[in-house]
Amino acid sequence: MANVANAEEGGGKAEGGGNDLFAKVDAIVVNLMGPTQQYIQVEMTLKLAKPDVGDRVKLYMPVIRHKMILLLSSKDAAQLGSTEGKQKLVQESKVAVNQALGLSDKEGVTDVLFDSFIIQ
């Protein structure tokens, strides 16, 4: 589920006014590729370009989660262990989410922020 919030409010409905808007994505847990059985759990927040993108995120959440599961499950722990690997995942995630929304990064999601990132 996605919760859309205005940065100054800290929660609730998204509102305009030029402030950053965010949409929370519930935790995603997938198995990682590789010879050992490892998994990743991520929670993320999407930074939205415009307030109306929040409604689109809610509507397309099943597609967003599907694309993120496919992306995350294509990785192995070694790829994600470094800062560079995480930064690359942020960019790939932003592309995947915007593809799901059918929007460019200037119109849709401008950044992906990891709230939780656990590899076990």
User: Under CATH, which number does the domain 2-119 receive?
Assistant: 3.30.479.30
pLDDT of residue 7: 44
Which pLDDT does position 93 carry in this prediction?
98
Q: With a threshold of 0.85, does the pTM exceed it?
A: no
| Per-residue confidence (pLDDT) for residue 34, from 0 to 100 | 85
The contacts of residue 107 (CB under 8 Å, 6+ apart) are 49, 50, 53
- Token digits for 10? 């800290």
Question: Which tens digit of pLDDT belongs to each residue from 88-119?
Answer: 999 999 999 999 999 998 999 999 999 999 99
Q: What is the pLDDT at residue 105? A: 87
Tell me: the pLDDT tens digits for 17-59? Answer: 445 799 999 999 999 998 889 999 999 999 999 999 999 999 9
CA distances to 6, 30, 33, 41 from 98, in Å: 20, 21, 24, 21
